[in-house]
Every structure is written in structure tokens, then in C-alpha cells.
Amino acid sequence: MAAQDESAPVVDLPLKLGREALEAGDLPAARRHLSEAVRRQPGDSDLIALMLRACAGDDDALGLWTLDWMRAAADERGHAQAGVALKERLSGGGRAAGELARARVAAVEELARFAGGRRKSGKRSPEELLVAQWAERLALDLCEGVPALERSFGANLTPVLWGGPRPHVPVIKALTRLMDSALANRRTELALRAARCLRGLAVQADFKDLKGPKPTGLGKLRAEAGQALARARRQVAENVERAGGAWTLEELEWMDEDEAEAFTRAHDSFANPGVALSPREWYRVETDCGHGTLLGVAGTVEFHHARLAGWYGSDPFVDRPGLVRIVPESHGLEAEGAPFFWAGGFQGGATTTLRFSCGTIEGLGHGLTHELTHRFDGTLFPGQPAWLTEGKAVWTGAAFGHSSADRFVAQHVSFGTIEGVFVDGYGGEAKLRKLVDGSLEEYRDNYSAGYALYVYLNTWLGEDGLLPFKERLGEFMENCRRRKGDPGAFFDEHFCDGRAGRPQDFSAFATGFAEFVQGFYWKTPAPWTSRYTQDVGSRGSGWVYDEPTWSWARARAEPFFGQDQAHLAGDVLVKGGKLREAVQALVWGLEMDGRHPVGESALASVLVSLGEEDGAWAAEQRRTFPAPLIDGGGLASRPAPFRRGLRATSHLLALYGELVAGEVTAGRPLTARALAADGDRLARWLGLPETLVVGLGPPATGCTELHPFDRQARRLVTANAGRRDGEAFVEDELSGYDERRVAGLWYADEHGQLHVGRRRPRQDTGDRDRAAHQVCAFVRCTDWVLPGAWSLKARVHFTTSYASGAVIIGYTRRDRNVRFGFNAGDFMYAIGESEEEPEFASMGWSLGGLFEREGALPGSRVGGGVEFAAPRSGFDLELLVDGPTVHAFINGERVGTYTAPDGAALEGYLGFATGTGAVRLQDATLQRLDRSRLAPRPLGSGKPGQEVDQSGATGAAHRDGWKGGPRIPPGLVLGAPAAVPFEQFRGRPVDGVPTATNGRLLLWIPAPAPEAEAGELSVSQLLDKARGKARRLGQALYRADVIQGLCLALPGDVGQVARADLARELSAELEREVLVLAHGASPRIPGLLLDDVGDQYRSWLMFLDAGGVARVVRPFYGMSQLDESFDHWLRVFRDHGRPRRELPALPSHGAPGAELDDGGGDE
């Protein structure tokens, strides 16, 4: 056997049984056993040869297994050696499959050469790097599943974009020249944009947490950009005054929703910011977030200021107005001079800067109070140590319930925060000493540990019932301005003096502080904690729906240099007419940020303007492959302009067409469909029409079930791989896991299983360890998974009494991926706090990406719990990916679906992580399903007991091989009958409805149920029904001031003319765009199993986002007002993409400005 020696124990038994069955002439039994051997050891040419023998008499199965054998057996030249007996079994003697293998080799060689040449050209023309990346990714796709090609070419083909070690240098030079020129010529908007971008880059470069290579040679960039920004802001201030000055609160309040939207559009940049004064002109507020943000902050900031003034006992800012700047993105904070990448805001002199995204004004008020505390402290108590500055601000930022509260809740404490300080070890003298003397390695600890220390000093009661530290704390704050020398000694002088009940030394102080923080431990809270409260009387407030605040950014992690800023630089350079330089910036942006549909589209547009057809096509193809995204179409729907120079690749595509025709003639329809699907995927890579599958017509029934149709699944861990399986896996970073991640906590065993969370095999008896350590591990595969359709399967076993972890897909870097999270067992038992051993009768799960907006948009992420039928040691997991969509299956049942918000198809590495405890992954496999996606095969043979479940679960091996093959769970295809309950369409793309940048409502009007029919369908009755439901919906939309368009889906029995007439009628009546389309649900469809489509006989309402994904799905019974889910999604997307519509002119205004420092430079 070709690979038998490496993993003999894995396939010995099914192989032995299969051979015995072959010798006995029992072909069904042989196929059953050998299919299991192939499943365990895919890609083994000798095993496939035995399957060929077992499939004798089934020409289609022989055709498909012949293709598999050639992929497995061919060498790096595409040649394979077959004995006489094997040649007789190979379909057509293997001649066609051999020709295909050799053509594939030629295409890969050609693409590798082509990529190398374009990559060299990329040093001068960055757009050439996109073409090189396209060629290498296509070559990788052709190598996939061909061991000889993977060995020969795989290591030298990179799917990621890389522009060299210093891509920022020409971009920064171009931006600097543009900034200087724009300032000199009073092109204020351009100058300000360039200065903010340059300053953001300089600030980013100074972050100590910066990932990747640190830039050099930036010199005085930060100072120069800061000076230019201050100068540009003076020009902006002059423009604001000429336009009427700052807006008053009353003027903003009088605006209706359309005027507010026009205001947000007009003031979306700090080149023309929204500017308002607080009621008593204590603060000037500037923002590019929008009307709602400006109104909310201007209307509440004085409440927070007054509360702080009352608490401090004085207001040092009378006649000294402050400035508040609100930005919607992290890169905006960088442009303003953020001190840390993780900061949500900062205070510099009179200027308060905050980020606001996907939130409420009440939520923003807590951050605003935190920063204003720094303003007060900086004036009243300068020189405070960091622990006190941050700890006090954390307390003030949390100790009130609503903006209008006039005082803080004196005894407020966050129990969880102080408990966390205890868990982090600050009850120990050594760590506490580092806190007070300012020698912490991680500044962020000043927030939590400083908070605990501040609360302790401010509120702790001694044995005499007095406050031993409170008065000294006031003296400490006052004396900080005069402090010199050792901060630790200064602390001891005030709090460890042995007087008034205070300890004699720091060691005794640390003992008392340890008692305090330990007292908040959840299991054994101290009686005295009852003096404190976590209740501040919070009041909720509504979401702010300013479109710029609904960020498309991912959750913030340590940035790479150029992250976000490079794309901004490209946008600025485009506006400045520097298109060549803009290309450099935008390519750099794609290198830093990975898949970025908006950036890819922008780059394609610039390259078109420059006449760079090759690069423009590659940028658009990168955005749309393997299926159109969001608005679809574009350049990638045209053939690759350089394809004629790729003769071997073009020959491979033509050969697919010839082989498909040959298989049809030979009576092998399923083999023809497999080849057609492979050829169509290649056509899609080349931007050519996908004609092969369409040319075959609908799939025939009664096709072979002796082959899985899709390519064989690949085992992620090979048996007898050894402790590290070094070629297949590598440890890497993973955001959210890195802080507690321990190197080396994984290994692959001799049975082909991957253990994560432990570094060596278990020594004890039983199935799992009791102890579950709270340390993290992460390991990922080294093979890149290209976009398309594919399935990841594994059996996950829990090997500790509690385990939590995640399966990572689409990993391109630590903060760019999608995660299936899971947990099971009993955490309390694992840490020794309970003696009741867990039964593992259930588990929790979650599925989502890392986009910030997902947490504020219900249904974006999914999750829940699964009850097992009986206790079990683990669960069977399948993650089935289709472009940007992931379907999760647990124990064969679909539990949830996730679609990336930006519509970008998932690609990248696979990985496995644990956060607590350990797991064992058995039979982890990856299978490409592109054939099933492009050329769906008939599901089952129609024999009794062989129908395939319509729930969306994938097919499984059965007694005679494969049944139906893997299946992609269907979304709603408007022209076809639905096959799953409508509720399961949530999170899936809807096919057949035109997309809109701000989304669209879809109202499904059903055909009458069959039992209600009395003869022919009445078209007039269907039209009347549609009118009535659309009118009722229209009234609800009018009341909610919804502007999005509406699509009605009517049964196909309603003809095109009648649909067009109804669309015109309703568009005029409802005063919005109304489309009327046909759906495919009708009892007249021959052979339709009506029981499977019962939901099609109810009315349904859906909200489809900009990518056509159904985000809200509800039965529609008529409504007087929209429910909360529809209203929220519609408001979030209301102005996304700035749809064309008439908006009113802004009302005139005039308000006196306030004199203050504009805070333009670094402070």
C-alpha cells in the first residue's frame, strides 16, 4: 500500500474486510468496507484502486474513481503508472484522466512563472502584486488534492498579499507633499484629511503594542503633522464661523429626521464637522459622527461636568470652556493623538476626545465622565500617580445611573472588577508595590487595580468604625503636585504611618488590602460587602442611529502599522488627484487589513481611471470570487485581460469542455457533472461564463451512489504523526486568548487525533481529568483554505471535567477570523468548588465573527445550548462554509447560521483553541464541496428509505457507500420552492431579490394552500391579497418613517404584466420603490412534497441587508407598527451607502462662538 506503513492501525480492519469481500465476490460488502478505509485514509492510490475493482459494472462510479486515482497517483509531471489489470478497470483506460493531470501540471507551472514575473513588476507597480496573488491562489486551487503538485509547488505559492518591507515610505512622502501643498493653497479639507492621516500613522507607529515590523525613519512626522493639523483646524474654524458658527441645542432639536440625516451627510468630516455649544456654553462639541451624537453630547455634557464639580467641591473651569471631540472609529482616535491603541478616549488639556460607535448617549456619558475626571484632576490635583488617576476615573465613570443624576452613588462598587483584581494577584505585596510605585508592565492594570485601591482608601472602615485612609487620601492628592523622589516612599508616607488606625508599614498595608479584595470573591463574600451597592439606578436610552457610528471595524486588538490608516491614505490621495500614489496606499491597505470589499472596490476604480486593466480586474476578482458580493457585477464579470497569455491554463479549461462532452457520450452523467463543475470553477477564476454545468441541463435521476461526487475529504491530522505533526500545524497568536496562552499545549497522537490544551498524553485512568486549568492554547493548520464551499468535520471530545474553546475558520491573522465557540462540563467541579461530577448532558455554543456591530445587531451572531439525548463524552461538529456563510451542525442537527456582515467570502487557515481545560479532536477532516455547490447532484436514487433529509444536514455514508453526498443548506431562492422552514433562512443570503445599499424589505405572499383550492388559482384574488397586505405594511412603514424599498414575492401564477402593474400602483400609493417578483412556490409544481414547504403557505416579512442576507424573518399577519427587530435593523441601514433621495436644505442658523484653545497639536 502506498501509505499503509504510516498509518496501518487506522485502515487495517476495513481494508482486510474489504479485500476478503472482494475475494468472495461480495461487491456491496467490499464497497462498504473499502469506502470506510478510503474515508480514514483519503488520497491513497492503492485504496482507490481497490474501490475501482469493487465498483465494477457501474461506469459512472468508475469514471469518478478514475479521476481520484489519477490525482492521487500522478507524479509532478502528471504521469501515473498503472498495471495491466488496473488499466482495464480505469475508465477509458485512464487516458482522459491522464491528459487532464498533465494539463493541470502545465497550468500550475505556467501560473507560477506568471506570478513570479508579476511579483517582480510589483516593486515598481504595486497593482501587479494583485495579479501575482491571483495567479498564485489559482495555482494553489489547482494543486489542491494533488499530492505531487502540493509537494512541488505548495510551499512556494503564497495566497496572501505582501508588498515588501517598507510599503509606507512612498505613501507617507506623497501624503506629506499633498498636505503641504493643500495648506499653502487653502484647500482646507484636503489638508486636514492628509494631516489627520499622517498624524494617525505617526501615533500608531509609537504604540508599544504594535504588531508586525515597526516602521523606522518617521522622525518628526508626528510633530509636523500635528502642527499642520492645528493650522488646518484654524482654517476650519474660520469656515464654521462664516457659515453661522456653532449650532445651538435648540436648533438641533428642531430638526426633523430628514433634516438630521442631511446634517449628518453634510458634516461627516472634521473638514466640516458638526459643531454645537452646550446650553451654557461650557463646552464646544465637534464631531463627524452625525446629528444624533452632536445633539446628545451637547445636551448632556454639562450634567456630567456639574456632577463632577459638586463632587470635587469646586469648579476650576468657570469662564474656561472645554472642547469635546467625538469620533466614530479607532483610526480617528489615532489621528487625534491617542496614547494607547486600546484607549476609548483621552484627555489633553481642555480637549476631551472620545470614540463613539454602535451605542447610546447614556453609555457614552460614562466614558465622557471618566475623561472629564482627568480634566478636573489635571487642574485641581496635578501630579497624581497613574493608579489614582485611572482608578478614580473608573469609579466616577460608573457611579451614576443617568446623565441628569446630580450626584454620584457614594457606596457604589463593581464587585466583579475588584474580584478580578484579587484573581490577578494584587492581594500580594509584590504586585501591589509595582502598582503604587508606577512600575507596572501593563498600564491597563491601573484601571482595575487602581480602582480597587482607590475604593479601599476612600471607603474602608477600620475596627473603630472610622475611615483611616479617607482624609489622608485627600492630603495625598493635594501633595502630589509637590511630590519628588520615590513614588513608593511617598505612598508609604501617607498611608503606612501607623497613625489613626493605619498600618505601620507597607507589608501590613498589603495584608489589609488583600483582605479587602478577597472579600469580594463571589463564593465567600465578606459580610462587610453589604455596605456597598452595585445599583446606581440606571436608565436606558435609545440607540443613536447616525450612520457613521455604525462601524464596520472589527473588535480592536493590537494593530499592525498601516491598519485602517493605509486605506484612509488612499482615499485622501484619490481626492488630491494623486492616483498613482493612491494605488500604493490602497494595496498597502489590503496587505494590512486583508479582505476588504470596500477597499478592493475603491482600488479597482482607481486602476480603471489609470488604464491599468490587469490590476483593476484582479482587484475586482478578489472582491467577488467565488460569487458576487453586495453589489456584484463589475470588472470581474469580464474575462481576465491577460488570459490569452496563459495558454496552458486556457487549454486546461478547454480540455474540461472536451472531457465533459466525452463523458456525456459515454453515458457517465455524474462524471460529466463533476468535470463540468471543476471546469466552471476554473472559468470563474478566469472571469469567463460558467457554461459547462448549464449545458448539461438538470441532473438525471438514478445516478451512482458509489462515489461521494465531491473530492475526498482530507484528514487534518495524519496517524503516527508524532507529538507535533510539524508540517501540518503551527502555534500562532489569537486575540482574546493570547494573554493566558501557554506555548506547547498541544500534540498530535499516533491515532491521528489532535489534543489541544495539554502537552502530553493523560496518565490517569478514566475518560477525563478533573482539573481544568485556566490557560489558553491555539494551534492552526499550515494549509490555506481558499474561498468557496467546503466542510470541516471533527468529533470533539472533552478530556477535562470542564472545557471551553473554539474552532477557528477563515484565520488570516489573530484578529481576523470566524469562531465557533463551545463549552461543556462543570467549571465548579473542575476548580474543586463542587463534588458533583458533571454528566456532560448538554453543551453551549456560539458562532460569529469579530465585527463590532455584531454585538449591537441581534441575530448577527448566533449561539445557544444543546441538550444531548444521553450523556456523552463529546460532540460531532460540522462547519459547512458557502462563500461568506457558515452553517454549524452539532450531532448532525443544524444549530445556527452566520454570514459575514461585509459579505466577504471566508478564506484562510483553520485552527483550534482552548480557553479552559483540554479537548481531543478525532477524525478532523476538510472536504471541498465546490462541485456540489456548482453542480448539485440528485439526492438519492428514489428507492424507499433512501430519500435525503431536507433539513439541511449533510449526507452520510450508508450501507452501500455514499448516499446523496454532502449538501449545502439552501437559502431562499425566489424562483424555486423552499426546502426548509422559513425561520431557518435567517442569516442566509436570499437569491433573486435585487440588493440595495440600505437594505430592503421582502414580503412573501403565499399561494393558497392545496386543501383550500377549488379549481384554478384566482389571480385576481392573489392580487387583492397582496394589495391588502402591502397596504397594511405600508402604513406601519409610514408611521416608523422607514425609507427602504419593498419587494413583494407573489406566486408565479401571477403573470409579469400583472406584477408590473401592481408594482406601479403600490409604488405610487406607498411613496416608495416597490418591486413585485415571482416566487416558485405553487402546488402545481410536479412532484413537490407539499409537507416539506408548509411555510410557503403563510405570509412572511424579511429584512434583507446590503448583501441580500435575511437578517430578520417573521410571519406576517398584518401589523400596526414594526416590531423592535425590524425597526432596529432598518434604522441602522437607513442611510448606509447614502442612497439617492431628496433631502431638505439645512435651516439657517447663527450662534456666537466661544474662545478656546482648539487643541490641534499634541498635548
Identify which of 149, 163, 42 has the alpha carbon closest to the alpha carbon of residue 106.
Answer: 149
DSSP assigned state of 247: B
Question: Helices 579-593 and 168-184, interaxial angle, to 10°?
Answer: 130
CA angle 151, 152, 156 (to 5 degrees): 100
Burial call 156-194: b when 16+ CB within 10 Å, e when fewer:
ebebebebeeebbeebbebbbebbeebbeeebbbbbbbb
Contacts of 440 (CB under 8 A, 6+ apart): 386, 434, 446
Please state, in angstroms and rounded to a whole number, the distance separating the CA atoms of residues 964 and 979. 16
d(CA 346, CA 343): 7
pLDDT at position 702: 55
Q: Which three cell numbers stand for residue 329?
A: 472609529
Q: At what angle do helices 445-459 and 506-518 cross, to 10 degrees?
A: 100
**CB neighbours of 621 closer than 8 A, spacing ≥ 6?**
134, 635, 636, 640, 685, 687
Contacts by 216-219, CB closer than 8 A, 24 or more apart: 217/169, 218/172
DSSP state of 1114: E
Contact between residue 859 and residue 778 where contact means Cβ atoms under 8 Å apart: no
Cα–Cα distance for residue pair 791/881, rounded to 1 Å: 6
Q: Which residues of the chain have pLDDT under 50?
A: 1-9, 628-633, 721-725, 939-966, 1014-1015, 1083-1093, 1151-1163
Q: Please state the φ and ψ torsions of residue 903, each to the nearest 5 degrees.
A: 75, 5
437 CB-near residues (< 8 Å, 6+ apart): 486, 487, 488, 491
Alpha helices in 480-531 (DSSP H): 487-495, 506-518
Contact indicator for 472, 458 with CB cutoff of 8 Å = no
* CA distance to 352, 415, 430, 473, per residue, from 515 (Å): 37, 14, 15, 19
pLDDT score recorded for residue 1087: 40
Buried b (16+ CB within 10 A) or exposed e, 625-648: bbbbbbbbebbbeeebbbbeebeb
Alpha carbons 774 and 457: distance in angstroms, whole number: 31
**HSE (CB half, 13 Å, CA atoms) of 812?**
20
Phi, psi for 1056 (deg, rounded to 5): -65, -40
| pLDDT at residue 165, rounded to an integer | 83
Helix (H, G, I), strand (E, B) or coil at 556: coil
Angle at 975 between CA 974 and CA 981, to 5 degrees: 50
d(CA 628, CA 606): 20
pLDDT at 64: 93
Q: State the burial class of residue 530 (Cβ atoms within 10 Å of its Cβ: 0-12, 13-18, 19+).
A: exposed
And the C-alpha cell for 670?
A: 455524474
Question: What whole-number distance in Å separates Cα of residue 117 and Cα of residue 131?
Answer: 10
Query: How distant, in Å, are the alpha carbons of 410, 479, 539 from that of 398?
Result: 11, 26, 13
Name the helix (H) or strand (E) containing 806.
Answer: strand 802-813
Q: 3-state DSSP helix/strand/coil percent for the chain, to nearest 5?
A: 45, 15, 40
For the full predicted model, state whether its pTM sits above 0.75. yes
For residue range 156-210, list pLDDT tens digits in order.
898 999 888 889 999 999 999 999 999 999 999 999 999 999 999 999 999 999 9
What are residue 435's phi and psi, to 5 degrees? Answer: -65, -50
> Alpha carbon 355 to chain centroid distance?
20
Half-sphere exposure of 689 toward its Cβ, with a 13 Å CA cutoff? 4
Give all strands of the β-sheet with 1045-1051 in edge-to-edge order: 1074-1079, 1045-1051, 1000-1004, 1100-1104, 1110-1115
How deeply is 960 buried, as exposed, middle or buried, from its count of CB atoms within 10 A (0-12, 13-18, 19+)?
A: middle
Say how many C-beta atoms besides its own lie within 10 A of residue 1155's C-beta. 8
d(CA 1078, CA 368): 52
Distances in Å between the Cα of 1073 and the Cα atoms of 373, 901, 996, 1063, 1064 are 50, 24, 11, 8, 9
Q: Using the 8-state DSSP alphabet, how is residue 92 labeled?
A: G
The C-alpha atoms of residue 263 and residue 270 are separated, in whole angstroms, by 13
What is the predicted pLDDT for the residue at 508? 97
Q: Locate 148 and state its grid cell.
A: 505531487
Q: Residue 275 has which C-alpha cell?
A: 459643531
What pLDDT sits at residue 976? 76
pLDDT at 635: 60
Tell me how far apart the alpha carbons of residues 474 and 1033 are, in angstroms, rounded to a whole number.
Answer: 62
Q: Report the alpha-carbon distance of residue 609 to residue 616 in Å, rounded.
A: 9
Q: Is 934 exposed, middle or buried (0-12, 13-18, 19+ CB in 10 A)?
A: buried
Contact yes or no for 719/750 (Cβ under 8 A): yes
Taking only the tens place, the pLDDT of each residue in 1017-1074 is: 588 888 999 999 999 999 999 999 999 999 999 988 889 999 999 999 999 999 999 9
